[in-house]
Amino acid sequence: MNNAINETNAQYFPNRIVLLGDSIFDNSPYVEHGESVTEQLEAIIASKETHQRNDANKTKVSLLAVDGHVMSSVDGQIARAQSKFPVNKEYAFLSCGGNDLLGYNASGLLSIASNNIGEALSSLHDVREHFRQQYKHMLSVTLKTFPELTVCTIYDNIPTLSIAEKMALAIFNEVILREAAEHQLQVLDLRVICDHIDDYAPISPIEPSKYGAKKIAHAIFEQYTNNTKGPVICA
């Protein structure tokens, strides 16, 4: 949602990083002040973009992700995406789907009775395809506003996760990776980024801790710098 008047003026406007999705980005309730993904990302930008003469020209971060939101909530997040300041280019990062899977699990996904593995996989297939349709719709809506989009996988190293839940997650992450490939989107693989028990918040182990948030923030900034030219200096 670019508010720049024209290309000549746009070069003097800051870029904007937009964070969409759920508590993977909106994790401030589970960490101390200054330790959330957004706050650590802003701190990284402040330390890296030292060439900028004033804060007005530094890359801005807009947190639109909301703790507890599901894929169908992203439409509403995008409706709030209008920038309050002129921007040059916008780069969106989307991490969503984990809460949808929690809903499936709560409804008894992993307790479906079956006589053999084939029946169990058939049941998972039906749920996976429902997830795929929702994910496709979410991407379609998001890309209309944010063509520069990076999506995230759902991490699977949560300390309290069962083996069955990890296996189910792999099926749904396959959907994310395939849809990303078909839309030629870049991916942040949170399964690899948040690979240690300390990356998960002690008060709620399904949320990023300050350490996990730091890793995610650095991954976002690295991806962002790889997609931009000139104005960002990465030490």
pLDDT digits (tens, 9 = 90+) for 48-87: 988 765 777 899 999 999 999 999 999 999 999 988 789 9
In a domain, residue 233? The reply is no
Q: Quote the mean pLDDT of the chain.
A: 87
* Cα distances (angstroms) measured from residue 228 to each of 91, 109, 203: 9, 42, 37
pLDDT of residue 52: 66
Per-residue model confidence (pLDDT) at position 123 = 72
Q: How many domains does the chain have?
A: 1
CA-to-CA dists, residue 191 to 85, 93, 152, 196, angstroms? 34, 16, 9, 10
pLDDT of 143 reads 98
Give, as one character, the DSSP assignment of residue 23: T
Tokens representing 172? 């749904």
Residues linked to residue 149 through DSSP beta bridges, in sequence order: 92
How far is Cα 97 from Cα 128, in angstroms, rounded to an integer? Answer: 12
235 occurs within a structural domain: no
Q: Which SS3 state, helix, strand or coil, does residue 35 take?
A: coil
Q: What is the dihedral of CA 26, 31, 34, 35, to 10 degrees?
A: -80
Cα–Cα distance, 97 to 74 (Å, whole number)? 10
CATH value at residue 134? 3.40.50.1110
* The predicted structure's pLDDT at residue 53: 59
What's residue 4's pLDDT? 43
Q: How far is CA 114 from the centre of its chain?
A: 34
Task: Of 106, 105, 97, 93, give the one whose Cα is nearest residue 64.
Answer: 93
- Decide if 34 is inside a domain: yes
What confidence score (pLDDT) does residue 145 get? 97
Whether 148 is covered by a domain: the verdict is yes
How many angstroms separate the CA atoms of 109 and 124, rounded?
A: 8
Domain that holds residue 176: 7-227
Rounded CA gap, 219 and 233, in Å? 15
* Pairwise CA distance, residues 101 & 216, whole Å: 21
Residue 54 lies in a domain: yes
Work out the percent of the chain whose per-residue pLDDT is above 70.
Answer: 84
* Among candidate residues 77, 218, 231, 75, the one with its CA nearest the CA of residue 138: 75
Nearest to 60 by CA among 46, 48, 74: 46
Residue 2 falls inside a structural domain: no
Give every residue of the chain whose pLDDT is below 70, as ranges: 1-11, 52-53, 105-116, 119-121, 229-235
Domain membership flag for residue 122: yes
pLDDT of residue 18: 98
**Is 232 a domain residue?**
no
